[in-house]
Structure 1
């Protein structure tokens, strides 16, 4: 008997080029293996995270003036980091990482995307990594896939995915497989034999079915994830499980960052999930955490001024979080542009001071030795890599 809470998707590179709509199963968590002991995890925060609330520049006096409904700073419960920035109180579970040098952030970052502030376009450009070319060509694929194409001896690795969306970031020609949590695959011995018999002459589905049974027996993810952060814990646990094996690159998404109203409540729930996912990765990876870099990235930031609904609207400059034993944490990266008159983008948004792709590129260069020209021309076309931020230990 086969039980599926959601449809299980096992997709190989041989399916690339087929219509996604024609295939019954989709993915939003992806993995790949590469010839390295270092690990890279990319978490896409869908919905435009308000970096000014997550990493609060309370040392800029304009922040409190522009945000009176949204509380900021240590006097309102935020956790002081360095006398200028404070961490949102919901990320308190991550403070030990900051203190150990395993948590950092970069402020005033963005993709080259400007002005239209569409979630769909912003997420496409973030995952494609191609600059500001809209609409994004479906054949372009994602920047993690182009990284794999630039590396010798990469191989496909089995993976799980959350939900039914496909992650563009790892789509493309390089081999990879995918999976979705909240899927429970229970097979009796007879059913397993029947499945093997049905797919015996089809290598693609035969191998996919075999991997599904093996992974299902290893994880039991769907039944163990409980509570409001259960999905996030499941993601972190499973990602760690695969990264402790052959996988070296993982990507998944966490939604819920669109905070037009009641930002304090909405953002708090999403931060709970992000913290839970990062800690599950840390705990699950064990000693391999010391060779891991986690990048949490969002499509764009939010307005500096709060709106009348105690929320914020779509903006431009934002923040990215970095975690892992491989980073030089306990510090802020990037140049702070200020929030005063004449310092905002379009008189409403945080002014970007660095392309978010540059941080991802420097992580690749440090972790996998990726060539600079390859990063600027092929993996992130049109990127000016700039100086090394020295984000890795």
Structure 2
């Protein structure tokens, strides 16, 4: 008989897995005037920015991360004399060298302390502050951007799976679209099912058989998570080459409580595939495109006993595209040393991630700063222009 503690632990794992499950992945589109294009990729599950963009120049990093890669000696790719890129993103290095890839570090939404995937993702997509309860955060910031753009019309909003993305919900109309794709379970979800069904032979054997059949079909059809990421990005590029100017879709699998070195390989590969597919599919329009890849929160500075990291606060934002002023890591580094971590556990947020999105809107679509702070991101102080656009 499972103990109450075991059931609570399983329930917590279920919540983590559900929040990052591929069936919850969604995709949205909208048309807008002008030739500039904005793509927002929501990274569901809380990407570990300290692993993706590793601050190896901070002497405290190695003491916090004994097993996880901590710089070039662990295979990370040197970006500058302070930061290195996770090796699974090596395919993006040509973009960095061409000035079409950048990062902003130590960023976060206003969400703090509870560290719930569901609440964190809702707040990220709503684009609001903490002045309202999470369940009252209505509408998404991309939809409010559309409402603020003269001549903008909602083309369509496409949902992969059964859930609509909050980020483009609102008065602009939306429809659903499901790609022909094999929706496979993430490694975390498979581990969760194995734990839940361990003592129930009926469900355990059925789940194992279903997984084997799914793996067989995936192999036969040449599908899988990375293939799905490519199809989503290719479809997005096709729409963006037409009337669409704003697109958003999500990539899951970033929840890395255990075996992070293995778990992150797949979602990082998906992210690289999506960005490179967008670049190739957009062709000449890539020069007028800005891609923002955002996550609900970062992860703990210290690795845990399972070779992973737990839910944290400060994280990293990835920016790509021909319109991006790349080849640099933006933001003020808060440090990882004693007394520098948020609540002695997380990277301290140095800037609101919404500010980068706001300045992208300002540069791409000419949106007035007052409108951004008042209506699109209520309560946001944009602060100085980080000059992320070329």
- TM-score (norm. length: structure 1): 0.81
> How far, CA to CA, are the matches of 1:99 and 1:227 in structure 2?
30
Say which of 227, 242, 247 aligns to 1:230.
227
Shift of 1:33: 0.3
Out of 22, 32, 36, which is 1:38 matched to? 36
Displacement of 1:181 after TM fit? 1.5
- The superposition leaves residues 332-353 of structure 1 with CA deviations (integer Å, 9 ceiling, x where unpaired) of 1000000000100000000000
Map 1:79-90 onto structure 2 (within 5 A).
79-90=77-88
Q: CA RMSD in A?
A: 1.8
Partner of 1:314 in structure 2?
311
Match of 2:150 in 1: 152
* Corresponding residue number in structure 2 for 1:331: 328
Give the conservation status (yes or no) of the 8 Å contact 1:162–1:182: no
User: What is the distance in 2 between the residues matched to 1:49 and 1:227?
Assistant: 20
Residues 1:295 and 2:292 are matched in the alignment: yes
Q: Is 1:267 equivalent to 2:258 in the alignment?
A: no
Aligned counterpart, 2:172: 174
- The verdict on how the C-alpha distance between 1:224 and 1:177 changes in structure 2, with shifts beyond 3 A counting, is farther
Is 1:27–1:160's contact at 8 Å kept on the other side of the alignment? no
Question: Which residue of 1 is the match for residue 89 of structure 2?
Answer: 91
Query: Is 1:41–1:292's contact at 8 Å kept on the other side of the alignment?
Result: yes
Q: SS state of the match for residue 229, structure 1?
A: helix
Q: Which residue does the alignment assign to 1:136?
A: 134
Is the 1:300–1:318 Cα contact (8 Å) retained in structure 2? yes
Q: Residue in 2 aligned with 1:207?
A: none
DSSP-derived class of the 1:365 partner: helix
The correspondence for 1:352, drawn from 340, 349, 354, is 349
Question: How many Å apart are 1:226 and its aligned residue?
Answer: 2.8
Report the counterpart of residue 27 of structure 2 in structure 1.
29
Where does the alignment leave 5 or more consecutive residues of structure 2 unmatched?
1-22, 183-219
Structure 1's 77 and 183: CA in aligned 2 closer, same or farther, altered over 3 A?
Answer: closer
Counterparts of residues 177-216 of structure 1 (less than 5 Å)? 177-182=175-180
Cα distance, 1:33–1:27 mapped onto 2, change above 3 Å: farther
CA contact (8 A) 1:302 1:349 kept: yes
Structure 1: gaps (5+ residues):
1-24, 185-222
Structure 1 residues 183, 160: closer, same or farther in 2, change over 3 A?
Answer: farther
The aligned runs of 1:115-134 (5 Å cut-off) are 115-134=113-132
User: What SS is found at the alignment partner of 2:57?
Assistant: coil
TM-score by length of 2: 0.82
Q: Per the alignment, do residues 159 and 144 of structure 1 end up closer, same or farther by CA in structure 2, a change over 3 Å counting?
A: closer
Q: How many residues align?
A: 331
Which residue is equivalent to 2:106?
A: 108
The equivalent position to 2:337 in structure 1, one of 336, 340, 349, is 340
Structure with more of its chain in helix, by fraction: 2
Displacement of 1:176 after TM fit?
Answer: 3.9
For the 8 Å contact 1:66–1:304, the answer to whether it is kept is: yes
CA contact (8 A) 2:290 2:322 kept: yes
Question: Aligned residue for 1:371?
Answer: 368
Change (3 A) 1:85 1:157: same
In structure 2, the CA distance between the partners of 1:386 and 1:96, relative to structure 1 (3 Å rule), is same
